[in-house]
Amino acid sequence: MPRLAANLSLLFTEQAFLDRFALAAQAGFKAVEVRFPYDVPAAAIRERLDATGLEMVLFNLPAGDWDKSERGLACLPGREDEFRQGVTQALDLAEAWGVRQLNCLLGIAPPTGHRSVRETLIANLSHAAEAAAHRGITILVEPLNSHENPGYYLSRTRQAIEILDDVGLGNLKLLYDVYHQQVSEGDLARTLEKYLARIGHIQIACPPHRSQPGTGEVDIAWLLGHLDRLGYDGWVGCEYTPQGTTLESLGWAKAWLA
């Protein structure tokens, strides 16, 4: 049965970041994920995890200057050292917090020619996966829709699978974001069924406004049931922007949190 994790970068934002851990636990979540936790003292996060009994299941590798529209470093020739430093930083934190999966955003592809960008990407992902394997950690790659992330290297599931095949390491998997993939390609149920064995983590939000299930064009409750029938028992990150308060947005989740 799929298990829900609260994305604390988007949920419970009514309170300061460190206070969101307790709110997630009180709402019934057993796990949390975070986008970029690097500005918060590691010991403070460890303290909140211990106090609430929550498991942190995912966060992103450093992704460059987000405010300047950078969306990852993995495909950027000339920034390999920065990427590798970020891998080490993230792996150290993952060990400190007991996180077993890290998401690697690939970046906005520069206009330097497909070959050099692709070679840089494969080399960087190989390095990240090999370094993570020594610590028992899985690296994920995530397609993002090109409407909101123009120029991002990866937008479709089949492209991601080709990258996984090129790297050829068992601890490199796909992060399947229902919101991004509905915008990019649709056909969610059959895609999940086809590639389930290659998926390490799933995230949900409802298009077109990236809001909670029940507010848009995808029947996410049905999709969670489909994942259950397929035998998926991994984590599903609730990475949506609530319409109303976070607690008001969780009515759909009661059965899954129970």
Query: Which ranges in the chain belong to alpha helices (H)?
Result: 20-26, 42-52, 80-97, 114-133, 157-167, 178-184, 188-195, 220-230, 254-257
Asked about 239 being catalytic, the answer comes back as: yes
Q: Name the token pair of 151.
A: 């120029």
Q: Kindly give, in sequence order, each residue whose CB lies less than 8 Å from that of residue 191, ignoring residues fewer than 6 positions away.
A: 157, 176, 181, 185
**Candidates 70, 82, 148, 239; catalytic one:** 239
**Candidates 80, 142, 148, 248; catalytic one:** 142
Determine how β-strand 31-33 pairs with β-strand 235-238: unpaired
Q: Which residue has the tokens 């609530």?
A: 242
Q: Name the token pair of 37.
A: 């936790």
Evaluated on CA atoms 209, 211, 217, 223, the torsion sign reads positive
Residue 66 vs residues 7, 43, 105, 107: alpha-carbon distances, Å: 18, 24, 11, 10
Asked about 142 being catalytic, the answer comes back as: yes
CA distance 138 to 100: 6
* Residues catalogued as catalytic: 142, 239
